[in-house]
Structure formats: structure tokens, C-alpha cells
Amino acid sequence: MRKFAKSFAVVATVAALSLSACGRADEASTGDAAGFEEGSAIGVALPQKTSENWVLAEGLFNDGLKEAGYEPQVQFANGGVSEQQNQISSMITNGVKVLVVGAIDGAQLGSQLQEAKDAGITVIAYDRLLTNTENVDYYVAYDNFQVGQLQGQALLDGMKANKPEGPWNIELFAGSPDDANAQVFFDGAMDVLKPEIEAGNLNVVSGQTEFNQAVTQGWKAENAQKRMDTLLSGSYGSEELDGVLSPNDTLARAILTSVSAAGKPVPVVTGQDSEVESVKSIMEGVQYSTINKDTRALVNHTIDMVKGLGAGEELEINDDESYDNGVKVVPAYLLEPQIVTKDNAAEAYANDPTLAELVK
């Protein structure tokens, strides 16, 4: 069983890298009951606007829930955890039937989720796992451990393409420690990279190989750029930097900005989220890769779950063993991520009206 909570992230065993999610069950149910009427309020609590995908999700939830016949209450918590706590409490007071939570910090909503449970509200953790609570009913996300595996493999592939014979010098970046996904991405990547490090094929010149050494507080670009500046000045006077593991596109661009300012050759840099500027960078041959996690598909599936709950149906689950949040194993539905490089970008984004225009 994979334990994916921020404070409990220990990976015991993993399947080989593939494009199918790990540890999936065929179908399971938590036995949902009565349902609720059309026109009911649905709460969607989103974190800060730290990426294009969160902003896109806001509009998709508003439009999709209205089209499904519900009253959406969608809010961002740009003011931080306390604001999200207050927003969730207000949604509960307003009588939402389902609470969809993209948490800033999945471990800091225990009181609010207990309120939701007491009010008979179904809680769906969206994209980020809610931890340290039994009061979460479902988790819907892309397979985030696999995302990390794909990033690690992309880093290896890109460096081998640039320089067929190793060893290769790399540095490692991780996301924000208050985001439960950050450790999962990092662990997935290290599942691929650690054996190569131990074999001597990869050299982390700075020696910073642990998650807590690689974190980027708040997923902020300026924090990643500052750390990259420090790494370059402290470890790469005469050494060549071949690659950087970046957990998302925003940080990838910050890392590349730092490298450019230092006058260093462009290394292989990974990413995630298929942000417009990073897709452009990939097509220009600067950033090497990103991960396509289509927000439209994730939001649409979440809304389908809401519709199923409204109709009193049993929800399909394809992973009922991997997501231990420290208190319970949360039934999950996982979508499949896709690695994207310049070579397959046209195919990967063929159905994306915005990105398809950038990769012709």
C-alpha cells in the first residue's frame, strides 16, 4: 500500500513505469445513499491561484455545475489556510450537498471537515489529498506518484539524448511541503532516479537529495530561482549541470531563468501542468518536458461524481488501497497523466483548443 499523506509519505512498493495507474481495483463503492435534488448548492474550495490550471478549474466548475443543474459556490483562498477554513465553514452554513476541496494544506482542515460530516455533506478531495482526517469520502486526481515517475524518466531520457554517455550532474527540486502532492511527486521521481544515483550514473553535485532539502515553499517561482542561484554559485563553478528535476512548469521557468542569468548552458529541465509559456518553451527547445494533466478531464470527472451522488448512485473507484491519509484509506479515482516533449506535443494537445495552436 502506498501512503501518500504529506506527513506519512512512505512508498513500500511500486509497479514498473507504465501509462496505467498503480494498484488499481476494478471497481468499488462506498455505498452512497439517498441523493439530493436538482438545484442544490455544491461547494468548491480552491487554493491560491498559483498555476494556470487552478484558474481554469474555477471557470470549468462554475460552468459545468450550472449546466448539470446545480448551484456552484466556487472560491479561491488567496489569503491562505485561514481564509480557506472560513470559506469552507460558510459553504457548510449555506447548505452545500457536496464539498469539493483543493486544499492549500490538506492537514489543516480537520475542524471544517468534521462540520461537513456532521451536516451530512459528502467530501471529495480534488487533486490534493486531505490528510489526518476520516471525514473525506473520495479522492479524485491524476496518479501523482506516476507523474513523478514520468518526470524522473523524462529527465533521464533528455540527458541521454543530449549526452549519450554519463555520468550526468543533476539537481533536484520539490514542491511546497504544505501540499500533500509535493512529496508524492518527489517520491515518484526518486523511484526512477535513486537507483541511477546509487549506481553512480547520476551525481547530485550539491548533495541535496532529500525532500526537505529540495522543497520550494508556496510553489513560488522566486523561491525556486533563488535556490537555483545558490546551487549554481556554490556547486557549479567548473562543473557542468546536465539536468534539473522540476516538479512543475512555473518552477521550471524560474530554474531556467536562473541558469540563463548565470550564463550556463541550458540543462534538461522537467515540468508539469502544460502551462502556455512552458509549452512554448518546449517547442523552442528550451524546457525539455512537461506533464499533461488535462484539467478539463479532471473537473468533468469530478462533476460526474457530483451528479452520481445527486442521483444516489454508487461511484466508480479505480484505486481503493493506495491513498492512506494517516487515518483511513481514501477511495480514489485516478486519471492517467501523459509526458509531453517536443516530439509528441502535437499529438498530446490535439484536442486542447489553446495548446494545439502552439504546437503545430
Q: In a structure prediction context, what are the per-residue pLDDT tens digits for the chain, which is 360 residues long?
A: 344 433 333 333 333 333 333 333 333 334 355 699 999 999 999 998 877 889 999 999 999 999 999 999 999 999 999 999 999 999 999 999 999 999 999 999 999 999 999 999 999 999 999 999 999 999 999 999 999 999 999 999 999 999 999 999 999 999 999 888 999 999 999 999 999 999 999 999 999 999 999 999 999 999 999 999 999 999 999 999 999 999 999 999 999 999 999 999 999 999 999 999 999 999 999 999 999 999 999 999 999 999 999 999 999 999 999 899 999 999 999 999 999 999 999 999 998 888 999 998
Nearest-10 Cα torsion for 336, 149, 159, 284: 30
- pLDDT value for 322: 87
Beta-ladder partners of 100: 44, 124
Cis before residue 47, ω within 30 degrees of 0? no
CA distance 81 to 243: 34
Query: Are 306 and 72 a contacting pair, CB within 8 Å?
Result: no
For cell 524522473, the residue is 152
- pLDDT value for 44: 98
Query: Are 49 and 106 a contacting pair, CB within 8 Å?
Result: no
- pLDDT value for 319: 93
- pLDDT value for 175: 97
* DSSP H/E element including 100: strand 98-101
For cell 549519450, the residue is 164
Which strand ranges, in their side-by-side order, compose the sheet holding 168-172? Answer: 202-204, 168-172, 243-245, 268-269
Beta-ladder partners of 275: none
- Cα separations in angstroms, 311 against 40, 47, 50, 333: 12, 28, 34, 19
- pLDDT value for 5: 37
Q: Which residues contact 356 (CB under 8 A, 6 or more apart)?
A: 346, 349, 350
Beta-ladder partners of 10: 3
Query: What is the chain's alpha carbon radius of gyration, rounded to the nearest angstrom?
Result: 20
For cell 462533476, the residue is 303
For cell 490528510, the residue is 131
CA distance 103 to 80: 10
CA distance 269 to 271: 7
Query: Are 111 and 132 a contacting pair, CB within 8 Å?
Result: no
- Sorted by where each starts, the structural domains of the chain and their CATH numbers stand as 41-136+294-336 (3.40.50.2300), 144-292 (3.40.50.2300)
Q: Is 3 helix (H, G, I), strand (E, B) or coil?
A: strand
Question: Alpha carbon 17 to chain centroid distance?
Answer: 18
- pLDDT value for 27: 39
pTM of the model as a whole: 0.81
In sequence order, what DSSP letters do the residues of 186-210 get, joined into one string? HHHHHHHHHHHHHTTSEEETT---S
- Cα separations in angstroms, 114 against 129, 132, 250: 16, 12, 34
